[in-house]
Structure 1
C-alpha cells in the first residue's frame, strides 16, 4: 500500500532527513586513515541521540549496529568493526534516524586519500546518477523513469547496476512501498503522485552487477571483488521538480575541509 504524506508530514520528515545529513557531516569531519568503522558508529550514534532522535538501523530486523559502513567491495549493509581505514579506501556511510515518528535515511560515499582515476570516476558517476534519477521524481512520471535514468547513466560508463537491492518508500516505517529500482524501462511502473516520499539510492559496481551475501547474514559484496559506490537521498515527489528532503551541502563542506578526504572529482 502506498502511503502519501501530508505537507505537514513532509515537513516532519525533512527534519529527520536533515539530521541524517548533519550526522554524515560530523562523520566527514573525522574520517581519516587509522580510524575504525566502529569509532565512526559510536560518534554517529552519540550525535543522533544528542539531537533528540534514535538510530533507525539499531536492532532493525536484528541489525546489531547504529549505522552502516560499507568499505570497498561491500555494496551495502557493512558492519562497523575494528577495521582501521587506510589510504585508498572508499567507504559508504548509511545513516537512519527516527524523529517526530518519521524516518530519515540516506547515504554518502567518501574517498580516503589517493585512489585511481577509475575509482574517482565511479564515485563521480554514481553521485551524478542519483540526481539524474531525482529529476524524474515528479508528478506525472512513472517509477520506471527513475530506474531507467539511473541505469542508463551508469551503464554508459560500463558499470554494473545492482539488481538485488533497491530504494524504497519512506515514512513512519523505514521501508514502505514502493520499491524503487535503479534500473527499469521508460514509461513503466506506477504513476508518481504528489507527496510520495522515497529513498532513491543508486548502488553501482565498477565491475559486474552481481553480488553475494557474506557469512554474517547482512553484508552484501560484489561477486567479482570490484569496488562499489552508494549514494542516497530522501526525495518527495512534487509537480515540476522533486523536493530533496536531505542535504549534501553540509557533508560536502566538511568533506572539502578534511585533508584526509579526496574531493578532486568535484572539479
Structure 2
C-alpha cells in the first residue's frame, strides 16, 4: 500500500531529513586517512542522539541479511557500494567512501547517501561520483506530480548508460514515511509513462548507484551485509528523500 502524506506529515519528515543531512555533513568533515568507519558511525550516532532521533538502520534485518545491522550509517568502501557494515579498518588515502544514513524523529523517517574520496582522489572516481549525483538530480527532476515511476528510472538509467556505468536493479529507491522502507520500490531503470502515477503526498527515496564499467554482478561480503562488485570495480551511491508536492519535488534530506 502506498500512503499519501499530508503537508504536516511532510514537514515532520523534513525535520528527520535535516538530521540525516547534519549527520552526513559531520561524518564527511571527520572522514580522513587513518579514521575507521566505526569511528565515523560513532560521530553520526552522536548527531542523532543530540537531536533526539533514532536510527532505522541499527538492528534492521531484511531477508538477505544473516544478522541485524549494527550501526547507524552504512559505510561502503571502494568496490563496496551498498550496506557496508562499519568496522575497525582505517581509511586509506584515495579510498572511495559511500555513506548512507537514516534517522527517525517522532515516528517519521528520512534517508540519504553521499559518496566522496578520502585524501588524494582518482580522476575517474570523481567522475563516477559526479555522474551518480547527476543521475540523482535527473531522477528528482523527473519526479513531477502526474509523472510516473518509470520516468524516474528512465532518467537515472539514461545518464548511467551514457557514461558506460553498471548497476544492479535488485536494489534501488523506495517509499519512506513511518518506516524506512515502504511501497513503492523505485527502480533505477524504467520506461517513460509506465508505473505508479506520482501524486502530491507521495514521499520516496531516490538512490542511483553505479560501478565503473558495465558490471552488474555483485557479491555479499563475509560480514553478511556489504554489497561489492564481483570484479572489484569501485562504486558510488547518492540518495535523497523527496516529497511530491503540487509545485514539484522537494528534497527533504538537506540543510
Q: Give the TM-score range, shorter chain.
A: over 0.9
Alignment equivalent of 1:243, drawn from 232, 250, 253: 250
Contact 1:102 1:171 survives alignment (8 Å): yes
Which residue of 2 is the match for residue 110 of structure 1?
Answer: 116
Partner of 1:262: none
Aligned residues: 248
The question of whether the paired residues in 2 share the 8 Å contact of 1:168 and 1:177 is answered with: yes
Tell me, in whole angstroms, the C-alpha distance in 1 between the residues paired with 2:200 and 2:187: 19
Q: Which residue of 2 aligns with 1:261?
A: none
- Quick check: 1:144–1:188 contact (8 Å CA) kept in 2? yes
| Counterpart position of 2:60 | 60
Deviation per residue, 1:13-42 (Å, 9 max, x gap): 000001000111111211110000010011
Question: For residues 219-238 of structure 1, what are the structure 2 equivalents within 5 Å?
Answer: 219-238=226-245
Tell me the CA shift for residue 47 of structure 1: 1.5
Query: Cα deviation per residue 1:197-233 (whole Å; 9 max; x = unaligned)?
Result: 0010001111212212223221111111100000000
Q: Give runs of ≥4 in structure 1 deviating > 6 Å.
A: none
Question: What's the TM-score once normalised by structure 1's chain length?
Answer: 0.90
Q: Conserved in 2, the CA contact under 8 Å of 1:161 and 1:183?
A: no
TM-score, normalised relative to structure 2 = 0.95
**Correspondences of 1:55-134 after superposition (within 5 Å):** 55-61=55-61, 62-134=68-140
Q: What does 1:123-162 correspond to in 2, within 5 Å?
A: 123-162=129-168
Structure 2: 5+ residue runs without aligned partners?
62-67
Partner of 1:28: 28
CA drift of 1:106 comes to 0.7
CA contact (8 A) 2:19 2:47 kept: no
Q: Which residue of 2 aligns with 1:253?
A: none
Q: Following TM superposition, by how much is the alpha carbon of 1:240 offset from its aligned partner in structure 2, in angstroms? A: 4.1
Cα distance in 2 between the residues matched to 1:91 and 1:142: 32
